[in-house]
Amino acid sequence: MSLFDAFRYDGKRALVVGGATGMGAAVAELARDAGAEVVVMDRAAVALEGVKTIHLDLSDKASIDAAVDECGGPVHTLFSCAGVADGTPGIERINFIGHRRLIDRMLASGALARGAAIGMISSAAGLGWQANLDVLREYLDITDFDDASRWAQENNKADYMWSKMAINAYVAREAFGLLKQGIRINAILPGPTNTPLAQANAEMWLGFGADYRTEAGIEASTPLEQAYPLLFLCSDAASGVNGITVITDAGYVSSGITESFPAATGAVQFLSGKF
């Protein structure tokens, strides 16, 4: 045993929701290599060897319930990584409501117990959550799966940006209650990351911040570069970290706030809800 073991996952069972491709696949591979027993839930086929796979459709509550039952417990670490782009039917369920139902079901069954950690993938697109907190509280108070989906659709909130703001507000709001149960929850807010989803929306997703990256001499993030901080947040080494959303965007947002890269300031103000 060494002090560094707190960064590892030996003896832990890790569930990766959305672990077939992109950041989720990188998280699953990294968790496996860190010593975890890995379970991957996804609609798509999972290519990673050495993991258990369970079919899951986050837009369908029956599929969520069946997947939770099949997984069982214990789950020491839950990585909520699945997400889709604007224009996808059921985006409000896939990106947030379905994740929340899965978490609630695992808590109710005891699969997530004291000592567990939850890590979610949000986005810099959700930076404006604090400016919209009153409406987000109204939304988060709707705990029924179908009612929440209906509210999002009726209020023109069934979109990518709102789903990511919902994750950020959820992480902040649930941190205290979960901690009383011995469970931590955190999220990362990636900047542009070279995933299949981003490639399918390349002009918007990978074009964002391209001028910043060119001047800084860097490329868009890789999935593995996002997996590393998420694994850290859910490890024992981060036992004092709870209820935070870590911006993992190579400094774009900070440079926009401080105007050290002035071209980013307008975009960051917009995303933060300051316009």
Instruction: Place 128 in a pLDDT band, splitting at 50, 70 and 90.
Output: very high
Residue of higher predicted confidence among 169 and 272: 169
Give the pairing of strands 13-17 and 77-80.
Answer: parallel
Tens of pLDDT, residue by residue over 61-110, are 999 999 999 999 999 999 999 999 999 999 999 999 999 999 999 999 99
Assess whether pLDDT exceeds 80 at residue 200. no
- Domains annotated for the chain, with CATH where assigned, are 7-271 (3.40.50.720)
Does 193 score more than 90 pLDDT? no
- pLDDT of res. 79: 98
What is the reported pLDDT for 78?
98
CA distances in angstroms from 163 to 109, 150, 241, listed in the order given? 26, 14, 23
**How high is the mean pLDDT of the chain?**
95
What is the C-alpha to C-alpha distance for residues 96 and 99, in angstroms, rounded to an integer?
Answer: 5
Packed helices 133-140 and 160-179: angle between N→C axes, nearest 10 degrees: 70
Summarised one tens digit per residue, pLDDT across range 147-169 is: 999 999 999 999 999 999 999 99
Q: 196 pLDDT exceeds 90?
A: no
> Given a cut of 70, is residue 275 above it in pLDDT?
no
